[in-house]
Amino acid sequence: KKKKMKETIVLYPSPGMGHIVSMVELGKLFVHHGFNVIILLIPPSHPFIASVSASNPSITFHHLPMIDLSPDSVPSHYHEPYQFELIRLHTPNLAHALRSIIITSSSSISAFIADFFCSTSLDVAAELNIPFYFFFTTGASVLATFLYFPTIHESIRTSFRELGEFPLYIPGLPPIRAIDMPLPILDRHDPAYDALLNISHSLPKAKGIILNSFESLEPRSLKAISDGLCMPHAPPPVPVHCIGPLIMSEGRGGGDDCLKWLDAQPEKSVVFLCFGSLGLLSADQLREIAVGLDRSGHRFLWVVRSPPLTKEQNKLVSATPEPDLDALLPAGFLERTNDRGLVVKSWAPQAAVLSHGSVGGFVTHCGWNSVLEAVCCGVPMVAWPLYAEQRLNRVFLVEELKLAIPIDDGFDKGVVSAAEVERRVRELMSDGADDDGLRERVLRAKYESVKAMRKGGSSNSVLIELVNAWKKQVDE
How far apart (Å, rounded) are the C-alpha atoms in residues 119 and 321? 33
Least Cβ distance, residue 247 to ligand UDP (angstroms): 7
What distance lies between CA 449 and its chain's CA centroid? 17
How far apart (Å, rounded) are the C-alpha atoms in residues 299 and 28? 36
Q: Exposure of 241 by Cβ count < 10 A (0-12 exposed, 13-18 middle, 19+ buried)?
A: middle
Per DSSP, what are the bridge partners of residue 39? 11, 61
- Which residue number, 101 or 392, has a Cβ lying nearer to ligand UDP? 392
How far apart (Å, rounded) are the C-alpha atoms in residues 247 and 279? 19
Least Cβ distance, residue 218 to ligand UDP (angstroms): 16
- Which residue number, 46 or 298, has a Cβ lying nearer to ligand UDP? 46
How many residues sit close enough to ligand UDP to count as binding (CB under 6 A)? Answer: 20
How far apart (Å, rounded) are the C-alpha atoms in residues 24 and 48? 11
Rg (CA), the chain: 22
296 lies in the binding site for ligand UDP (CB under 6 A): no
- Give residues 335-394 in contact with ligand UDP (rule: CB under 6 A): 347-351, 367-370, 373
How far apart (Å, rounded) are the C-alpha atoms in residues 270 and 358? 6
Least Cβ distance, residue 140 to ligand UDP (angstroms): 15
| Position among 40, 199, 206, 248 found at the interface with ligand UDP (CB under 6 A) | 248
The residue nearest ligand UDP at its CB is: 18
Hey, what amino acid is at 201?
A: H
Helix (H) or strand (E) holding 132: strand 132-136
13 lies in the binding site for ligand UDP (CB under 6 A): no
274 lies in the binding site for ligand UDP (CB under 6 A): yes
- Which residue number, 145 or 277, has a Cβ lying nearer to ligand UDP? 277
The CA-based dihedral angle spanning residues 373, 379, 384, 386, taken in that order and rounded to the nearest 10 degrees? -10
Stretch that binds ligand UDP, among 37-45, 275-283, 330-338, 447-455 (CB under 6 A): 275-283
| Position among 10, 20, 21, 467 found at the interface with ligand UDP (CB under 6 A) | 21
- Which residue number, 110 or 370, has a Cβ lying nearer to ligand UDP? 370
| Position among 10, 11, 17, 375 found at the interface with ligand UDP (CB under 6 A) | 17
Phi, psi of 70 (to 5 degrees): -80, 135
- Which residues would be at the binding site for ligand UDP (CB under 6 A)? 16-18, 21, 248, 274, 276-278, 303, 347-351, 367-370, 373
